[in-house]
Amino acid sequence: MSGAAAGFGLTIVPDARAMGGAAADAVAAAIHHAPEAAIAVPTGSTPLPMFEELVGRVRRGELDLSRAHLYCLDEYLGVTADDPNSLTGWLRRAFLEPAGVDPTRIHVVPAADADPAAAAARYEAELAERGGLALAVLGLGPNGHVAYNEPGTDAESRTRIVSLTPESIAQASAYWEGELPIPERAITVGVGTLREARRIVLIVSGAAKADILRRALQEPMSEAVPASWLRLEGERLTVIADEAAASRLD
């Protein structure tokens, strides 16, 4: 499957702070439209400016997240949310707790379940029963992954166990504490699941992401760059990139 980059929205802003503000606007709009909206947010350094802006709005009384449902996108296989290296724990510390999100409305990827494959299927089913995601805010990995949908992922993939690439494992090492090895597998929400969100916002910042963003948006869609599949959703996709990340776009 292939195609040209067309139909989606592209917003280029001066810097990462402005990107965070624009992404926070998308979250606020989803909550304004439906206070109980199901929203997925990513981990990593890219969303930090968005989290800072959202927390500020909550504390100023400009945004109410008390009824929203927040969905985690991925987690290392076998790692519990209480593990210091947990992606879920990182998200709680960086955003969910400072924003005062009700723990009962935080939906955690069940990566430590005794039967993780069955648990992944239940997570997918639970999200479907809620009507799917109102909004999926996604980061762009250096190798083109979204959530932990690594190169080789097809456009219809669902929540499942995946093997991480050496590149992703190396990237994770920057956040990893202790002597235990970084897990080589994870559970991730699939590209097909993410594509069903009523709105998708892809956030990208920094010159290091310029080449992969160009590939995701302007080369033929393919399994080699899983983020490129998001273009299938046309106008439901909005890309928010800072000038450095967008520097190689035509």
Mark whether 143 is an active-site residue: yes
Q: For residue 114, count CB atoms less than 10 angstroms from its CB and return exposed for 0-12, middle for 13-18, buried for 19 or more.
A: exposed
Strands (E), the chain: 9-13, 38-40, 69-71, 74-76, 106-107, 135-139, 160-163, 185-188, 200-204, 237-242
Return the half-sphere exposure (C-beta side, CA atoms, 13 A cut-off) of residue 248. 17
Which distant-in-sequence residues (6+ apart) come within 8 Å of 118 by Cβ? none
Point out the catalytic residue in the list 53, 150, 223, 242.
Answer: 150
Mark whether 115 is an active-site residue: no
Point out the catalytic residue in the list 74, 75, 223, 242.
Answer: 74
Name the residue among 191, 143, 173 with its Cα closest to residue 76. 173
Q: Six-digit token pair at 17?
A: 């702070």
Point out the catalytic residue in the list 69, 145, 223, 242.
Answer: 145
Q: Are strands 106-107 and 69-71 parallel, antiparallel or unpaired?
A: parallel
Q: Other C-beta atoms within 10 Å of 4: how many?
A: 11
Mark whether 85 is an active-site residue: no
Q: Is 203 helix (H, G, I), strand (E, B) or coil?
A: strand
Q: How many residues in total does the chain contain?
A: 250
Point out the catalytic residue in the list 64, 107, 143, 219.
Answer: 143
Mark whether 74 is an active-site residue: yes
Q: How far is CA 210 from CA 74, 202, 245, 246, 248, in A?
A: 24, 14, 4, 6, 6
d(CA 206, CA 243): 8
Catalytic residues, by residue number, are 74, 143, 145, 150
